[in-house]
């Protein structure tokens, strides 16, 4: 059974589709479709991780206001149109002009190996009921500094609170990139006092397919690390 490290709530990355419409993509072995239904002014990009375990969803909030609550639903279908799995999630406090990255588990076979289905329906909708509860009124995503260093088989990620207030919730997505696309996602969640820094170590994931054909463990081939501050709230 394949394992993965995950953002608490995420061979090369594969773009599946863009917001508000249908997209078709092909990798070396499989063609499939994704249909995206997103609320107004939310841009959506989707990718498959290096091991085809999960869908990486990269959102941008182009509204001139923060969003309190987003509901995400994914449905998976086989070649005959049969529903073979579902995944849903809800996340809070999507800052205006900002990005949000999360992951959706792909279906698995009887041996618990995940795979990319023939078709994916992805719905991303604003829940208006919670619109008045956004982060206590203020979000500080742009006041969180991020950096990293590499040490052997891991990276050391540092986040710092430059907001001038205590941040009770700081969620940062850590994206391992290859040729400009995310191929693996991990994350950090923390509480930070004013001016406080915190460093956490993240293991560089193994390339399972390459390792099976080698006498030693092979790590994924990435060329950069990017960060997305999903949420930085004082409440």
Q: Which one has a higher pLDDT value, 182 or 215?
A: 182
2-16, 25-39, 168-182: range with lowest mean pLDDT = 2-16
Q: Is the pLDDT of residue 19 over 90?
A: no
What is the value of pTM for the model shown?
0.84
- Joined together, the tokens standing for residue 227 give 């960060």
CB contact set of 3 (below 8 Å; sequence gap of 6+): none
Determine the average pLDDT of the residues in 181-192. 96
Bridge partners of residue 73, in order along the sequence: 88, 123
Q: Is the pLDDT of residue 18 over 60?
A: no
**Which residue has 């001038």 as its token pair?**
164
Determine the average pLDDT of the residues in 38-55. 91
At 133 the three-state DSSP class reads helix
Say how far apart CA 46 and CA 49 lie, in whole Å.
10
Mean pLDDT of the chain: 83
pLDDT for the residue 132: 58
Within 13 Å, how many C-alpha atoms sit on residue 169's CB side? 16
pLDDT for the residue 222: 96
pLDDT for the residue 32: 61
Q: Is the pLDDT of residue 31 over 50?
A: no
Predicted confidence (pLDDT) per residue in 56-110, tens digit: 999 999 998 888 889 999 999 998 999 999 999 888 889 999 999 999 989 888 8
pLDDT for the residue 16: 42
Angle CA 74–223–32, to nearest 5: 30
- Joined together, the tokens standing for residue 201 give 């170590």
Q: Which one has a higher pLDDT value, 159 or 4?
A: 159
Say how far apart CA 116 and CA 129 lie, in whole Å.
34
CA dihedral (34, 105, 214, 218) positive or negative? positive
Determine the average pLDDT of the residues in 191-220. 91
Say how far apart CA 197 and CA 182 lie, in whole Å.
25
Task: Provide the strand spans (E) within 127-195.
Answer: 144-151, 154-161, 167-178, 181-192
**Hey, what domains does the chain have and what are their CATH numbers?**
14-133 (2.60.40), 135-233 (2.60.40)
């Amino acid at each position: 059974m394949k394992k993965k490290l995950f953002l608490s709530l995420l061979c090369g990355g594969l773009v599946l589709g863009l917001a508000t419409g249908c997209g078709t993509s092909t990798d070396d072995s499989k063609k499939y479709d994704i249909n995206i239904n997103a609320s107004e002014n939310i841009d959506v990009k989707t990718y498959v991780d290096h091991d085809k375990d999960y869908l990486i969803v990269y959102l941008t909030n182009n509204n001139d206001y923060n969003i309190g609550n987003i509901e995400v639903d994914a449905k998976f279908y086989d070649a005959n149109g049969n529903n073979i799995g579902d995944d849903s999630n809800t996340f809070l406090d999507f800052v205006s002009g900002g990005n949000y990255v999360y992951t959706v588990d792909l279906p698995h076979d009887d041996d618990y190996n995940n795979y990319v289905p023939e078709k994916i329906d992805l719905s991303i909708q604003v829940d208006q009921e919670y619109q008045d509860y956004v982060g206590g009124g203020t979000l500080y995503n742009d006041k969180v500094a991020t950096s990293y260093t590499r040490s052997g088989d891991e990276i050391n990620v540092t986040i710092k609170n430059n907001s001038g207030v205590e941040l009770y919730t700081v969620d940062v997505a850590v994206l391992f990139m290859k040729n400009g696309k995310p191929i693996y996602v991990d994350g950090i969640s923390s509480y930070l006092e004013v001016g406080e820094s915190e460093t956490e170590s993240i293991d560089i994931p193994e390339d399972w397919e390459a390792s099976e054909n080698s006498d030693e463990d092979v790590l994924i081939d990435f060329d950069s690390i990017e960060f997305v501050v999903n949420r930085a709230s004082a409440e």
